[in-house]
Chain A
Amino acid sequence: MGRKTGFIISKIAELLATLLVVSLLTFVAFSVIPGDTAQVILGPDASQAQLDALRAELGLDKPLIVQYLNWLGGLFTFNLGKSAAFGVPVASLIAERLPVTIGMSIIALIFVIVISYPLSVLSARRPGRALDQVFSVAGHILFAIPPFVLSLLSIIAASALFSGFRAGQYFRPEDNFPGFIGCLLLPSFCIALPKIAMTFKYMRSSIIEQNASEYVKNAKGHGLTDFRILIKHVLPNSNVSAITVISIVLSDILAGSLIVEQVFNLPGMGRLLLSGIARRDFPLLSGMVFYIAFITVLLYFAADVLGSIADPRIRLK
């Protein structure tokens, strides 16, 4: 028990150190680049006095270290200041766009798990057979298609097949929840497909490796059914690689949704990021960059901890 808590504590310390460096990098990057938030808010015609007054109000006249500490404090209280371009708090802008991005990520993850698990089990039963070959080749091809290209092609296919299909519809979750889920299905599937191929590849080789091991042969010798061996022994032992792959897949899904959103015209984080970029809205951009990196770091942290619970040997390394 002591070793387990010790491992988790050391991981948490590592997580906090990483987050601190990430926040520092984000802040420094946005401080050294040219661009003045006060100028963006007031426009090109502002007088020097107005600019100075706004800078004082925003705290931009203080030394950089004080600005950093203020910003860091704001990160924890979700108070990131006002967006330069929209004039509303950054946190509320992000919160407004979260449902689409999170919804898409969750649906895509469900697709990945529900499709790649059965396929990899099926494929690993008889490696090298026709079915396995077909899946593997299909996996390679799907992996090579950028999700936004897949989205464009699927829109073309869908409008050729269904006359009523219209891309770019969106329903707000509070108005029409089934409609909201419905308009996220195709984009999520397009993000998920290459990741299904990736998860399939790792799961398949992990299951094949387990199947060749001594304990599976032993279990077979004992007369256990293949299904029981699979559920009780092989899958639990593949958990560690599954957890690692899924944490990578999730962070890729999140990043992929930034672009795919744009194809389907969905109001998520991706569009917010693009409008922030177009208007050089640094408070908004730095907040978004930090939170997206934060989620990524957290995912890898969760994978480490869950992996150590699934396989206690990891803690010893």
Chain B
Amino acid sequence: MKNPSSKIFFTAGFILLGIVLGTFIVSLFWTPYDPSATDPASKLMAPSAMHLFGTDNFGRDTLSRVMDASKYTVFISFAGVAIALILGLLTGIPAGYYGGWTDRGIMLLSNSIMCFPGILLALVAVAVAGPSMYNVVWALGLVFAPTFARVCRIGTMELKQRDYIIHARVMGISSPRIMSVHILPNLLGSLLPATVIGLANMTLFESGMSYLGLGVQPPDASFGKLLADSQSYMTRAPWLVIFPSLMLILYILGLYFVSEGIRVRSQKGGN
């Protein structure tokens, strides 16, 4: 109709993601200063030509810190989605394929997990396992697994009706082989929107957890941790809050735009 075309969303989304992922890639090789190098002579300096994003209370360069933080934020979102995706595939495909009690059991479990607000579950899981980056990844992977399991289950139920799967069964191909060789590859397309949205939601959760001190642990810092560290200085040195916030927002917004583009395109294809 009069809705903006998917192209606008893709362009905007990829530009925003390009900024964040570009920063991430550059940070692997180069940052203007050592992100953890302190300099008592230049504490809480406003942005200048020397320090584009200013400095923090230890005189550390904020631009370098933000670049370094992009590593953790991006890594956690991708690793968490990978775990959620694998768990979702491992539970969702059998549920959809076998049906019956397998399906009921797996769905009961995944629906019950979805009753708990995600952030609560993730916080408690990390609290129990001890706060660390890898535990955050596991906790987020578990919390998001049901979303992926649902998509896999519905997709498998649909594919199961197709002729080629029925033929494969008649030919006596084993169920695990049908699921992994014939169903799995055909599911990947339908998992794309959930994956992109999952990356955005993981980032939202991770930033909140790191902000509360239950995520990435010092001396490492993600965007959320940078925000927590700068809270006491935020009225004196607002740049400490503004730049990490901006990067965080650009990343999430970029992911949302891409997912919106996918949605608009698939709707057009359907009509």
CB-CB nearest in chain B for A263: B231
Q: Within the complex, what minimum Cβ distance (angstroms) separates A18 from chain B? A: 6
Q: Which chain B residues border A252 with CB–CB below 8 Å?
A: 117
Evaluate contact between B120 and A156: CB separation under 8 angstroms. Answer: no
Bound form: Cα–Cα A289–B238 in Å: 35
From A127, A140, A152, B257 is in contact (CB under 8 Å) with A140
Give the tally of cross-chain contacts (CB within 8 A).
110
Binds A, one of B43-51, B87-95, B241-249: B241-249
A contact residues around B260 at 8 Å (CB): 140
Given contacts A128-B2, A140-B253, A156-B238, contact A297 B120 (CB under 8 A): no
Most buried by A among B116, B245, B252: B116
Within 8 A of B (CB), among A111-145: 127-128, 133, 140-141, 143-145
- Interface residue count for B (Cβ, 8 Å)? 41
- B173 at interface by CB-CB < 8 Å: no
Contacts of A259 in B (CB 8 A): 119, 208, 211-212
**Which of A152, A273, A285, A297 is the one whose CB lies under 8 Å from B115?**
A297
**B253 and chain A: residue at smallest CB distance:** A144
Interface 1/0 per residue, B1-25 and A, CB below 8 Å:
1111000000000000000000000
A22 with B112: CB separation less than 8 A: yes
Which chain A residue shows the least CB distance to B235? A159
B123 near A152: Cβ-Cβ < 8 Å: no
Q: Is B59 an interface residue (CB 8 A)?
A: no
The listed residue with most A CB atoms (<10 A of its CB), out of B118, B212, B257, is: B212
Q: Number of A interface residues, CB 8 Å?
A: 42
A244 at the interface (CB under 8 A from B): no
Q: Is A153 interfacial (CB-CB < 8 Å)?
A: yes
Does A303 interact with chain B (Cβ within 8 Å)?
no
Complex interface: chain B residues within 8 A of A258 (CB) = 119-120, 123
Distance in Å: Cβ of B239 to nearest Cβ of chain A:
10
Q: Note all chain A residues with C-beta closer than 8 A to B248.
A: 146, 149
Q: Which of B115, B212, B231 has the most CB of A within 10 A?
A: B115
Question: Which residues of chain B are within 8 angstroms of A153 by Cβ–Cβ distance?
Answer: 241-242, 245
Question: Could you tell me the distance between the alpha carbons of A197 and B157 in the complex, rounded to whole angstroms?
Answer: 34
On whether the beta carbons of B234 and A144 are closer than 8 Å, the reply is: no
Chain A residues lying within 8 Å of B117, measured Cβ to Cβ, are 251-252, 254-255, 292-293, 296
A152 and B118 contacting across the interface, CB-CB below 8 Å: no
Contact B116 A22 (CB under 8 A): yes
Point out residues on B near A: beta carbons under 8 Å. Answer: 1-4, 108, 111-113, 115-121, 123-124, 127-128, 200, 204, 207-208, 211-212, 214, 227, 231, 234-235, 238, 241-242, 245, 248-249, 252-253, 256-257, 260
